[in-house]
Structure 1
């Protein structure tokens, strides 16, 4: 097999592959066997029809087409491996020559990851917020906990902002009742700016048994978006009573005996959250700082795939929230053009970040240990709220193991970047990333049971092949980079001469 590579752009190549016809013999035999099982010719059982009769009744062309379709994936894979190309996505394949018993040739255009070197990242400066836990923040968090244990008490007065009114809602359009817009016994917090525009103004000032009618657009149902006459009737008005922040409340809401112990625990937990946020911000900003030092071309198709993925995710979230994209854009005060530009910029940055982390993993010869894969599976299962065994089965059945290896590798590459940055707070304090991590690791941890560990280990073992394949890809990339450097050195030497 002969393969030539033509660079169409820095991120797209065209492979021209010529294959001696005799290499198609196994595929031809398989094609005859497959067609033999499908055709019905008198005197022959399915699967026993001779090749000459298949040529006569079905046609040699159909057999050749079947054989070519069967052979193309393997031949394409061999060509990519031979030329050590890091391909992205599916290729556009075209059969250019098919001479029976002579020669077979095809071309394949495919996006590739650009070739580049990650520049030095030692000493990059990153600034994060101060890890300060103020008394006000502690009090705010404690008040939120008190809110969870609040009770509602009925009052004999008109509704005010902050009250909870039990209301009935009815709607009419041109005198006709809109049934799917009606509700009764709905508990509404006055001043919460609910979905129905004008509802707050209508309820404020009403006492139990009183009603008010106003005009507004319906937000749901078959007639959503139409103007309707909406009547709201107040059944009762209630105020929220918060429990006192005392020892009795601490015993009710926690395992602590005194409010001071609870308050100190809140402060400790907030401090841990702030430290975690510092590390998260450091990771994001360290990658951003490194990306600013790298200029690489990006495949349009790969960026578009990321754009499509983000829009699909957004539409799913909006659908669950009962909103349209137009509603979302209105809330964000953005035009479609502005939002699309933001999504495309973010998608391009994400693709670029992935390329840089992948290349850094190659340069630093990073690998993935079984223990790291096990930890990843258990952590993901905890975050998703599913059993590790369930997640393990899903990942295995859906061939997600290579994606796990890639995700862990990128995370390790990003951790390596963070370890080499100079991390400072807004007030000028220099932070020790490793010390912060040790501090956090000394906090609360969740131990996995033996069954979870065993399940995760099975995933790690199953992922070994994927890891080995990735290692082979990385080795090919290293060799390709070395060749590129050698070629560049030759050219530079020729210029100097």
Structure 2
């Protein structure tokens, strides 16, 4: 077999492969055996039909086509190995010449990873928010905890702000009741603003049994973004009473004996949260700065496939779970289809560039992934997917996605390594140094960010049996 590589552009090549007929012989024999098991010819036992009879009955061309289809993946793999190229996705194969008992020639066009050069990035400087926990932050955290321990008592009076009401809702669009616009026995705290605009005003002043009608834009469901006429009926009104902020409350709501100890624990927790947010902000800003330094050619077919994948996942998975279609989503977001697709393309392009750049950094830094690191990442992905670790791991293995997860971890480590080598200051002008725990947080954040960036460029794949001869 002989092969030649022609560079079409920085991200795409054309392989031209010539295969002497002798090397096609094993696949030709396999084709006769396969056809032998699939057909019946009077006078011959199944599997014992001579090759010349198969040629007469079914045509030599059918046998050659079967043989070529079976052989193409092998010859393609040998050609990319010989050419030392890293393919992305499936090739576009074209049989250019097939001479019986003489020669098979085919071409294969495929996207490849572009060669990129990572410049010295140690001069990158970014500024992140300082870790500051105010008394107001602590007050808000304690108040949220206090809300969780509030008690409710049914009262015989008009509903007021802060009360909890049990309500029935019915939404109509163009005079028709929506199938997913009816709800009964919904608990709602007046003033929380957590449901429909206009609901607070509608129920305020109503007693049990009272009704009201108001107009509101639907935020979810089959007609998200549409103006609806909403009828609400109050079943009951309950007064919410918050516990006193004292040591007794601290003992009720936590493992601490005093309110001061509870507040101090809240301060520590908030500081830890803000340190994680700071680490996440640092890796996001450093990544953006790194991408600005590197010119990355984007394979256009890969980009188109990634855009289509993201759009499909949004339409058929995320929006489907919310009972919403793309038109309703666009109306809710107040975006045109063109604006949506432009944003999607921008996100996909950044995801691909991120993976190419961080893969190259990982290669330069000679970063590897341990079994423990892979297991920890798998556990986090399983948790975010809502699946059990064993179930998620089985799905990953069966779907051939192990290398994808390895790539996510490796890229996360690459991003963390870049963050460590650049200058990060907080908004007060103080240098930010990640300690061991925070470094692990940044590493985790980097893995999550690169996972979200998209997996289109994670692993280039060969034909693996999918390249077929043209009819």
- Give CA-to-partner distance per residue, 1:76-107, whole Å, 9 cap, x none: 11111111111111111011100000000101
Matches within 5 A, 1:279-318: 279-315=279-315, 316-318=317-319
Q: Provide the residue aligned with 1:64 in structure 2.
A: 64
Residue range with higher mean Cα deviation, 341-350 or 189-198 = 189-198
Give the corresponding residue for 2:124. Answer: 124
Cα distance in 1, alignment partners of residues 206 and 139 from structure 2: 33
Does residue 96 of structure 1 match 2:114? no
Q: CA deviation at 1:218?
A: 7.7
Q: Is the 8 A contact 2:222 2:323 kept in 1?
A: no
Within the alignment, does 1:188 sit opposite 2:178 as a pair? no
Query: Which residue matches 2:235?
Result: 235
The one-character-per-residue Cα deviations of 1:120-141 (angstroms, maximum 9, x if unpaired) are: 1123112111011111111211
Deviation per residue, 1:126-157 (Å, 9 max, x gap)? 21110111111112111111222222222333
Which residue matches 2:355? 354
Residues 181 and 218 of structure 1 are in contact (CA less than 8 Å); yes or no, is this contact kept in structure 2?
no
Q: State the 1:292 CA deviation.
A: 0.5
Per mean C-alpha deviation after superposition, the further-off stretch among 165-174 and 5-14 is: 165-174
1:7 is aligned to 7
Secondary structure, aligned partner of 1:431: coil
Residue 115 of structure 2: aligned partner:
115
Change (3 A) 1:222 1:329: closer
Question: 1:418 matched to which residue of 2?
Answer: 419
1:29 paired to 2:23: no
Higher alpha-carbon deviation: 329-338 or 57-66 = 329-338
Structure-1 residue corresponding to 2:261: 261
Return the alpha-carbon distance in structure 1 between the equivalents of residues 222 and 63 of structure 2: 55
Give the length in aligned residue pairs.
443
The Cα offsets for residues 354-390 of structure 1, whole Å up to 9 and x where unpaired, read as 1111122222333333343344334444555654433
CA distance in 2, matches of 1:439, 1:299: 33
Structure 2 counterparts to residues 44-443 of structure 1, below 5 A: 44-169=44-169, 181-193=181-193, 198-214=198-214, 230-315=230-315, 316-381=317-382, 383-384=384-385, 386-434=387-435, 437=438
Structure 2 CA distance, aligned partners of 1:5 and 1:137? Answer: 62
State the secondary structure of the residue aligned to 1:256: coil
Given that residues 126 and 423 in structure 1 are in contact (C-alpha distance below 8 angstroms), is that contact kept between their aligned partners in structure 2?
Answer: yes
Which moved further from structure 2: 16-25 or 397-406? 397-406
In the TM superposition, residue 253 of structure 1 has moved relative to its aligned partner by: 2.0
1:275–1:436 Cα contact (<8 Å) kept: no
Q: Is the 8 A contact 1:21 1:101 kept in 2?
A: yes
Q: Judging changes above 3 Å, is the alpha-carbon distance between structure 1 residues 249 and 324 closer, same or farther for their aligned structure 2 residues?
A: farther
User: In the TM superposition, what is the alpha-carbon distance from 1:425 to its structure 2 partner?
Assistant: 0.4
Unaligned runs of 5+ in 2: 443-458, 463-471
In structure 2, do the counterparts of structure 1 residues 215 and 424 end up closer, same or farther at CA, with 3 Å as the change threshold?
closer
Alpha-carbon contact 1:181-1:220 (below 8 Å) kept: no
Measure the CA separation in 1 of the matches of 2:394 and 2:99. Answer: 47
Shift of 1:321: 2.6
Contact 2:222/2:328 (<8 A) preserved? no
Maintained 8 Å contact 1:419/1:434? no
Q: Give the TM-score taking structure 2 as reference length.
A: 0.85
1:152-204: per-residue Cα shift (whole Å, max 9, x none)?
A: 22233322333322223457799988787544433233345566564443322
Cα drift, residue 335 of structure 1: 3.3
Considering fraction of residues, name the structure with more helix: 1
Relative to the length of structure 1, the TM-score reads 0.80
Partner Cα distance (2:152, 2:79) in 1: 72
8 Å Cα contact 2:249-2:259 kept in structure 1: yes
> Which one scores higher on RCO, CA 8 angstroms, separation ≥ 6?
2
Instruction: Report the Cα distance in structure 2 between the residues aligned to 1:269 and 1:413, rounded to whole angstroms.
Output: 28
State the alpha-carbon separation in 2 of the partners of residues 439 and 39 from structure 1: 62
Q: Secondary structure at the match of 1:121?
A: coil
Secondary structure at the aligned position of 1:186 is classed as: strand
Deviates more, 1:130-139 or 1:193-202: 193-202
Return 430-439 or 296-305, whichever deviates more: 430-439
Cα displacement string for residues 273-311 of structure 1 (whole angstroms, at most 9, x for unaligned residues): 111111112111111111101112111122222222332
In 2, Cα distance between equivalents of 1:66 and 1:16:
21
Q: What secondary structure does 2:78 align onto?
A: helix
